[in-house]
Each structure stands twice: as structure tokens, then as C-alpha cells.
Amino acid sequence: FTGSLDASSLLERIEVLTHVSQYDPYKVLIVDDSKAQATHTERVLNSAGILTHTLTEPIQAMDALAEFQPDLIILDMYMPECNGTELAKVIRHNDRYVSVPIIYLSAEDDLDKQLDAMSEGGDDFLTKPIKPRHLIATVRNRAARARNLKARMVRDSLTGLYNHTHTLQLLDDACFRARREEQPLAFAMLDIDHFKKVNDTYGHPMGDRVIKSLALFLKQRLRKTDYIGRYGGEEFAVVLPDTDEQSALKVLEEIRQRFAEIHYPAQPQDLSCTFSCGIAMLQPGLDGNALSKRADEALYKAKHGGRNRVEL
């Protein structure tokens, strides 16, 4: 954004930028106590361009799910540590993974046992030996549908940004990683100033356009590795990994200034908007919840300090 800022060209590009990356390779988590079996499954899937991550110990599954974020899970039925069905139950217990397809791949050919296994959160039961084409088609179709569904579940439909729930999940994950890698992490909350007046004066559709354009503006100005969420109506939240206090202040201060410069063509006169912003830094002993509370307090400070400002 250099020179004059034109709101309508911003809006034109929003469709492009919010597009879901449906062309990324599918990712499959394989859990099988037999390395040989797992390797065979991996080879079949890899040959079809599907990425795999294999665990021979089911106990690592929850960490692997968080790290690898698979589109689909292939479970062995019988493992010494913990059966596939037990693992499926644990996975389904976590809100985040309720919709990830779980496919059993086992030599078990007793239908009663297969159906039992599926009643515990499995979606399909494939019996070994299985033709590679059959396995690949099953994985592809289920992964495609699941990915499509998930993309809708985690996003806000007006802006294409992450929704409230998912933003908080991403914040939790980012806190975990930041702590492990001993990197700083910033969390920012933004709230458009006097937005009720925008709606009252210019109408709700104009209010929506401002919300969309701020969404796009944040996308263009922040890094690919930052997470941007629509936290509420005219509230946004940004997770900034590997970002120290000075950098967070600098980038949000710059965004604040540039956003305030945008003029939306309107009657009786052009409209311009500002936002207030509160930033919190990850510190020892804080979790995502506490961090968002701090950012909220900083935002409150910004509002009461006169709005159109960034506070820490």
C-alpha cells in the first residue's frame, strides 16, 4: 500500500486472499505397531502424492495430531500398548478432532469386530490385503471432504479469517510451540472505534465492507506465519509467533496509522475508520487464556486512553 488507499480495490482482492489451500497435498497419520506394515501403507500413499507421518507407538498420537495436523488417520486395530479402538475414542474425545476421518486398516475380517471398532468413532474399515487403488481412492475422497468441511468450520464466512474458537486454539498451539522453542510470542486484539456510528450513519452493508477491508488489510500487512482471526463482530485477534514486544508494537502501530488513512467513498461524505489495539506478550506461567485476558485489558486501556491507539 503506497500512495492513496482505495477501499474498493482492497475488496476486489479479498476473494483471492481468503481462498482455502485445497491444492496442498493430503496428510495422513498412520498408527501401526508394525513398522513393516506402516512402511507398506506409506509407500502406497506416497506414490499417490499423499504425505504421511507414521507412529508405531499410539501413545504419541495426540502430540502428532497437534504437530502434523493430518487430514485423515489410518489406524491399526491391534497394537500392544493400546488398541486402535481405544485410541479412536481418545481422539474423538478432543473437540479439535471430531471431524478427522479415522479409517481402520487391519487383517481382522470378522464383521462383528469391524462394526464394533467403527462404533467407537471410526469411519471405515478396510481389510488387508487391500489393493493400492482402493486404499488411495478411499483416503483421497474422505480427506477431500473432510478438508473442505474443516475449512468452513474454522473460518468466519464474512471475512475468511479464522473464527473465534479456532483463533483461540491456534493461540494455544502457538504458546506451546513458543515455549518449546524459547521464542517470543505476541497476541493482539483490535476493535474498530465507534463502529455503531458507522452502521447508524452509513448502514449495515457499509459496516460489513469496513470489516472485510480491515480483514484484508491485516492479511496483506502481516506475515504468512501470523494467524488472524475475527474475534467478534468488529473485533479481530492476531497471533504473532517469533515476535518480540518492539516488533509487535511497530507492526501494529504501522497498521493502525495506515488503516486510518483509508477513505471509503460514501455519501454525504467519505468514511474513514480507526481501531484500538491491545497487545500482550507471552510470559512464563501464562497460557493462551491468560494471554487473551491481558490483551483485552490492554485494549480496554487503549479505548479509555482515547481510542485509535496501540497499548501494551
Which residues are near Mg ion by CB under 5 A?
Answer: 33, 76, 78-79, 191-192, 195
Report the nearest approach of ligand GH3 to the CB of residue 197 (Å).
6
Of 174 and 277, CB closest to ligand GH3: 277
Identity of the residue, 71 or 76, whose beta carbon is nearer to Mg ion in the bound complex: 76
Which does residue 33 touch among Mg ion, ligand GH3, none (CB within 5 to 8 A, set by kind)? Mg ion
Listing DSSP states for 118-136 in one string gives HHTT--EEEESS--HHHHH
By CB under 6 A, the residues from 185 to 204 that bind ligand GH3 are 191-196, 199, 204
d(CA 63, CA 43): 23
Give backbone dihedrals phi and psi of 146, rounded to 5 degrees, phi first. -65, -40
In DSSP terms, 127 is beta-bridged to: 106
Q: How far apart are CA 228 and CA 105, in angstroms?
A: 38
Which of 233, 265 has the CB closer to ligand GH3?
Answer: 233
State the nearest-atom distance from the C-beta of 38 to Mg ion, in Å. Answer: 10
Q: Which of 97/264 has CB closer to ligand GH3?
A: 264
Of 58, 121, 122, 207, which lies in the binding site for ligand GH3, with binding defined by CB under 6 A?
Answer: 207
Cβ distance to ligand GH3 smaller for residue 151 or 158? 158
Q: Does 208 bind ligand GH3 (CB under 6 A)?
A: yes
Using CB under 6 A, pick the residue from 115, 220, 233, 261 that binds ligand GH3. 233
By C-beta, is 6 or 208 nearer to ligand GH3?
208
β-sheet bridge partners, residue 125: 104
Cell numbers given for 286: 501464562
User: Coil, helix or strand for 183?
Assistant: coil
For the bound state, the minimum distance from the C-beta of residue 270 to Mg ion, rounded and expressed in Å, comes to 20
Residue 73 CA: distances (Å) to CA of 38, 104, 122, 230, 232: 12, 8, 10, 29, 33
The entry of Mg ion, ligand GH3, none that residue 54 binds, CB within 5 to 8 Å by partner kind: none
What's the CA angle centered on 308, arms 270 and 204, to 5 degrees?
A: 45
Count of residues engaged in binding ligand GH3, rule: CB under 6 A: 15
Report if residue 309 touches ligand GH3, rule: CB under 6 A. Answer: no
Beta sheet of 275-281, edge-to-edge order: 227-230, 235-241, 185-192, 275-281, 310-311
Residue 189 contact partner, candidates Mg ion, ligand GH3, none, CB within 5 to 8 A by sort of partner: none
Residue 196: CB minimum distance to ligand GH3, A? 3
- Say whether residue 296 binds ligand GH3 (CB under 6 A): no
Cis link prior to 284 (omega < 30° from 0)? no
- Helical pair 84-93 and 111-119, crossing angle rounded to 10 deg: 20
Nearer to ligand GH3, 265 or 305 (CB): 305
Instruction: Closer to ligand GH3 by CB, 38 or 211: give it.
Output: 211
Does 211 bind ligand GH3 (CB under 6 A)? Our answer is yes
How far from each other are the two terminal CA atoms of the chain, in whole angstroms? Answer: 26
Q: Cα–Cα distance between 215 and 171 in angstroms, integer?
A: 18
- Coil vs helix vs strand at 275: strand
DSSP 8-state secondary structure symbol assigned to residue 264: B
Give me the least distance between CB of 243 and ligand GH3, in Å please: 25
Distance CA 49, CA 74 (A): 16
- Rounded to the nearest whole angstrom, what is the least distance from the CB of residue 84 to Mg ion in the complex? 8
Binding residues (CB under 6 A) for ligand GH3: these are 191-196, 199, 204, 207-208, 211, 233-234, 303, 307
